[in-house]
A and B are shown apart, each in its own frame.
Chain A
Amino acid sequence: MALFSESVEILCSPAAVPLQMTWHGQDYAIEAEPLRWYERRAWWVEETRAERGSGTSLVDHEIWRVQARLKGQGELLTFDLTRHLASGRWRLLRLHDGVQVRSA
């Protein structure tokens, strides 16, 4: 497994589900049904302000686990992506070795 914190570009469906990822100038097609969850962040370390009523969550980190193929035809790879809730920007967190069995 490789760990990253790199900016990636993600194209989403109208329902805000990731469809396509651009990483290092390469396009990856995301297979159907990515998995999405929320993890906490250590906001008291990462943030400098926590004023009341800011409207967005300081606590949540949106994580997407997607399976994607380079140009829609390469090997099936499993990526963990994160979307910053305030800015909407995406970063790549992890690239898993081989195909992950989706656990529920």
Chain B
Amino acid sequence: MSFIHLHVSTAFSAHYGVSWPDDLAQAAAADGADALGCTDRDGLYGTVKHLKACMAAGIEPIVGVDLAVLEPASDDGGPGGGGHGSGGGHGSAGYGRQALAVNGRVVVLAHGGIKGVGYRALCRLISDAHANASTHTPVGITLEQLVARSLDPQTLAPVLTVLVGPSSDVGQAMAGRKYLTPRRNFQRWHARMPAGTLAAEIVSHLSAPGETLSTAHAVRMLKLAREYGVPAVLTNAVRYCEVDGAATADVLDSARTLTPLTALSGPESRLQPNGQGWLKTSAQMIALGREIMHAAGYGGAELAQLLGSTQELADRCRMDPVTDMGWKQPVVPEASVLGIDQDPLVELTQRAEAGIERRFPGISGRAEQVMRDRLLHELGIIDRLGFSSYFLTVAEVSRMITEMGVRAAARGSGASSLVNYLIDISQVDPLRHDLIFERFLSQDRATLPDIDIDVESAQRHNVYHRIFDRFGAERVTLMSMQNGYRARGAVRDAGLALGMDEEDVGAIAKQLWRFSARNFREAMAEKPELREFAQRVEQGQQNRQSQYGPGIPQTGGNQQLDLLVDLTERLDRLPRHISMHPCGVILGDKSLLDRSPVQPSGLGLPMSQFDKHDMDPMGMLKLDVLGVRMQSAMAYAIREVVRIHPSKTEVVAAGRHQLNSQGEGPAYVAEDGHIDLNAVPLDDEATFELIRSTYTLGCFQIESPGQRELIGKMAPREFNDLIIDISLFRPGPMKSNMVKPFLENRHGFAPEVYPHPALKPALQETHGVTVFHEQVLRTFDVMTGCGLARADEFRRALGNEVAEGKVEDYFRRQARKKQFSLDVIDQVWETLKAFGSFGFCKAHGAAFAVPTYQSAWLKAHHPEAFLAGLWEHDPGMYPRRLLVAEARRMGIPILPLDINHSTGEYRVEEVNGKLGIRMSLAGIYGLSGTELKRIVAHQPYDSLADLRTRAKVGRSTMKRLAQLGAFDALHLTSKGETGSTASRSDLIAHLHSLPVRSANRRWEPIEGQLHLPLGDLELNNLKDELPEPSAAEKVRTELDLLALDVSDHLMSSYRPLLQRLGVTTADKLLRLRNNSEVLVAGIRVATQTPPMRGGRRVVFISIDDGTGCVDATFFHEAQEKSGPLLFGTRMLLIRGLTRRTGPRGISLQALEAWDLSQTETLPLPVGAAAGQLQAQQA
């Protein structure tokens, strides 16, 4: 007989379970079990993965949860204390909603094979448990709720079984040798739970006699069960698949409780008593049962009974994934909710028809035929899959968002669909860009397709709320995501467990950069930035070995470092917590909450316990509504354009937009000056000129150093070039070196080569190089005649060891039949195979290219408004200060903070006939939102006293505003009137000297005085004592208080030092010959480690020196030389060789780097004393 484990926590019990569902299911099946339970703590976090794993292992899933039981704070000093303790009688939470405290934990299993009634009760029970939680109450369930959910409300048949075991109030009460309490507690469970819903859980971890999880306790539980005639089942309360996992479980206990292991152990140990909680084999479990029976004085009959009732309960709880849990059955909102009273397909067809006129005005002839054929084809597939309602649902959401006046753009393979284009879900014409519907949806693939909608990030939460309102709270929930340990978090928690110094561990964590914690030890051997750490580990090993030698002093904790590395590797990838997914919204019908437990999210909207991997198996329709800051930035820019130029004529003049023959501006600018960005034609020459210049900082997708280099080489001329550019800049193409042949062919340096003339139509747009998924599909279709739907299945099989072989066989056989030569077949297959799973879907590229083009268009025509939008919404990969530097480079005035002109936003302002951008008050450190609102509400101010009186600004804010020069204009007026020569420093000193409180009164004028044209008495009377702050001081203040260098570039103060070093500035690099050796210096603005050919890591570091960006590439040797400087240093000096990347592009191949702030280490020319330079620099 095989044993079935009913109580198993997977790794998805965050900070508790150790093993992955796959490993558990495989182990259970290998041992001969035909079913396995999954009972994660507080939710169904691992359940769908468990289902999948069980199906793969050929066993049946059992589904449940491990939940805390909540009780009102009892008066016998029980959970939560209360009553007559030291806390006193007036319990703070005792009134109103009663605070609940945990009184043990139980396992709840859903009954299966009953058409989902058990699963539904389980989902609802878990949602109840999370709804109970509040600041005073942890997640858990009350006995009343358990009772209520355990029966089918219709038939009153049992649908759940509660296992009362060692963690329950019964088991816990055994610890204190209280003989009556366990019995009384068990009696209560027996009395309250309906018949057929209760079982006693017998667990022994063979701990010391009398301790928790000891055989003695198991015996007592068994005897209680027999006394009350409650079935007893044997489990092992599993936390790990194998013996080895016990140590990991200890570390997780430490991380969960934020307590070092040493503090957790000891007499009041809160760790597991020992390491016996693994998935024991049937033989081991039966032996364990025998041992318990022996200790209880029972024999074989009682053992058979225990194992029998365990089997019986397992049988009752076998889940049918399909009939119980809705496995792979798509559920979409009811037609009535969408406001449709006819067949959804008819509705969809009508709406698509209606879109033709709008999207293809005046289409006719052959073009119309092609379009209509495509539409019919798509509708046919949608009909066969029954997905009409899905499209209508997405269209409804899309319409709703647009109606809110929020910018939205579809993303992903949805752009491949003509239907999506016609019903306004997508903005890309799939016919024009040759996109294949089958890449998005085909009859061979019955999973709900993904349609992603990008919206303005600032509006995302509003959009979510609107979706909840529109579809009803019972049909919508947010999707969650699992956050697993990555290297840095893992090393921190491993350090915590070992009780290491937090600062020391933090310093180690900082050096961990983009590798999985699982390979920590491997990384130590390879990565230069870990060299120092690896040496310390080795030193620790040596010290250990020589410990018995004569008096070797201990060096701070290095002995533990070996363990630190091992524990870090153990934690790798284990889930830490779930959080709201950044964009996933689940839409369903009114049964949604019967199919997914929900819990509160940070947003106040319910969040499903399922993540993106669970959507398709559970038939859930997920919509990605992603907040994109660039969309917010662009929306902001358009509003700024209208504000500054409130008419079509002005906008057209300011943006130098094309006039038609009648001298009218383009149609995409409305009479009131509003620009319809989506209507801007995709062939604007000024935009492509900007892109080719590679000054694309701030432009969507093409601002990274690598992209700027690629753009410089490629020189895009049309929209399709942008699509190709974005698709090429992916790990796959970069790794397989597709870029070089593509560029050579494009520029005509090398002849285009096609394996066969028949493939030319498919590959022409990329000059014979396979870049897109769509091209792979066409290649398969051309060579084998398989059709595009099957071709997409083949594409998916590429890179999969098993399936790829079959695809190859088919490909070779069919291509032979179609008379392709063996050479051609070999060559094409090699390409397809190499293409593997990477490459890029052209539809994705096309969807991405739209905001890329739009942002470049705005930068080309309305740069001030665009940059203001970027500063306001901070969308890119770079710090905001670099975009300020970009404005400086472009000659756009950066208007300083001014108490009368600055608002809570970065605004475009016309000063002396030139557009500039005014600094926002919102960025000032320590300025509260309410203070800001008061300042803006009462602008303008004619004196400091006026500001104090009406905006009620406190002393420290007054001082900060003065430091940042926000009073300079007022001060200047006063100086002009009085001839005062006081400086900004005098003003700051004055404000500083005022008492904190009485300041208001002292300077408060008598009623009415304000209206007299006396000017600002306070400013007028300032004494001229201090010199004006130096430019460097001003910049430092701005960096401290704004994190921006406004008045001048941060690097300016380093000029003398840099001159002495002989540093070349970014703007001069382009004039140098290829391969010149130079020194450059600047502030780090970006660090990237993109995947590279040959798998060797390359580090890109971009620095900004005030004249532009320098992108430096560190190959292996330069990384070795630079060591820890690579990731930790802010101001860098880099020696390198120039590398010309194109007519407009130049980058640096780094040879070595220094920390610019460590003057004594810099390679100064002979004779220059470092000390002198430092003095100059200050």
Contact = CB atoms under 8 A, between A and B. Distances in A.
A23 B114 CA distance: 63
B544 interface: yes
A57 B243 contact: yes
B544 A48 contact: yes
Given A40-B274, A52-B570, A63 B243 contact: no
20 contacts: A37-B207, A37-B214, A38-B206, A38-B274, A40-B265, A40-B273, A50-B247, A50-B570, A55-B242, A55-B243, A55-B244, A56-B244, A59-B250, A59-B272, A60-B246, A60-B276, A103-B210, A103-B216, A104-B216, A104-B219
A80 to B, nearest CB: 10
A51 B248 CA distance: 10
Given A37-B208, A103-B209, A47 B265 contact: no
Contact of B265 (A37, A42, A48): A42
Interface string A53-88: 111111111010000000000000000000000000
A74 B444 CA distance: 82
A89 interface: no
Contacts of B274: 38-40, 59-61
A35 interface: yes
A49 B219 CA distance: 37
A43 B242 CA distance: 17
A36 B206 contact: yes
B20 to A, nearest CB: 13
A37 B214 CA distance: 8
B453 interface: no
A1 interface: no
A100 B94 CA distance: 49
Contacts of A61: 274
A37 B276 CA distance: 10
A40 to B, nearest CB: 5
A29 to B, nearest CB: 22
B1050 interface: no
Given A50-B567, A51-B566, A39 B207 contact: yes
B205 A38 contact: yes
A2 interface: no
Closest 5 CB pairs of A and B: A59-B275, A38-B274, A59-B246, A50-B566, A58-B247
Contacts of B450: none
Interface residues of B, number: 39
A51 B245 CA distance: 11
B1074 to A, nearest CB: 49
Contacts of B559: 48
B497 interface: yes
Interface string B540-580: 01001000000000000001001100110110000000000
B563 A49 contact: yes
B209 A40 contact: no
* Contact-residue bracket for chain A: 20 to 34
Interface class of chain A by DSSP: loop
Given A49-B563, A53-B244, A38 B276 contact: yes
A58 B275 contact: yes
Give the most central of A36, A44, A58, A104: most B CB within 10 Å. A44
A83 to B, nearest CB: 13
A51 B494 CA distance: 13
A36 to B, nearest CB: 7
A38 B295 contact: no
Nearest to A15: B287
A57 B240 CA distance: 12
Contacts of A40: 265, 269, 271-275
Nearest to B260: A44
A44 B243 contact: no
Given A45-B262, A103-B210, A58 B246 contact: yes
B63 interface: no
B257 to A, nearest CB: 15
Contacts of A42: 261-262, 265
B498 interface: yes
A53 B276 CA distance: 16
Nearest to A56: B243
Contacts of A37: 206-209, 214-215
Interface in B477-535: 497-498
A63 B208 contact: yes
Interface in A4-23: none
Given A40-B271, A58-B275, A59-B275, A52 B243 contact: no
A44 B209 contact: no
B1163 to A, nearest CB: 42
A66 to B, nearest CB: 14
A43 B205 CA distance: 18
A52 B275 contact: no
A57 B563 CA distance: 15
Given A51-B569, A57-B243, 15 more contacts: A37-B209, A38-B205, A39-B207, A40-B269, A40-B275, A42-B265, A48-B562, A49-B562, A49-B566, A50-B247, A52-B248, A56-B244, A57-B246, A59-B272, A60-B276
A52 B244 contact: yes
Contacts of A55: 242-244
A28 B275 CA distance: 31
Contacts of A56: 243-244
Nearest to B250: A59
A103 B220 CA distance: 13
A58 B210 CA distance: 23
Contacts of B570: 50, 52
Interface in B253-296: 261-262, 265, 269, 271-276, 295
Contacts of B544: 48
Contacts of B207: 37-39
A44 B262 contact: yes
Contacts of B262: 42, 44-45
Give the most central of B216, B275, B497, B569: most A CB within 10 Å. B275
Contacts of A47: 563
B484 to A, nearest CB: 16
A54 B244 contact: yes
Nearest to B297: A104
Interface string B194-223: 000000000001111110001110010000
A52 B566 contact: yes
Contacts of B250: 43-44, 59
A19 B242 CA distance: 30
Contacts of B244: 52-58
A24 B215 CA distance: 33
A40 B273 CA distance: 6
A58 B497 CA distance: 15
Contacts of B214: 37
Contacts of A45: 262
Contacts of B209: 35, 37, 103-104
Contacts of A59: 246-247, 250, 272, 274-275
Contacts of B272: 40, 59
Contacts of B261: 42, 44
A37 B271 CA distance: 17
A51 B498 CA distance: 15
A52 B498 contact: no
Contact of B247 (A43, A48, A63, A103): A43
Give the most central of B205, B206, B209, B244: most A CB within 10 Å. B244
A37 to B, nearest CB: 5
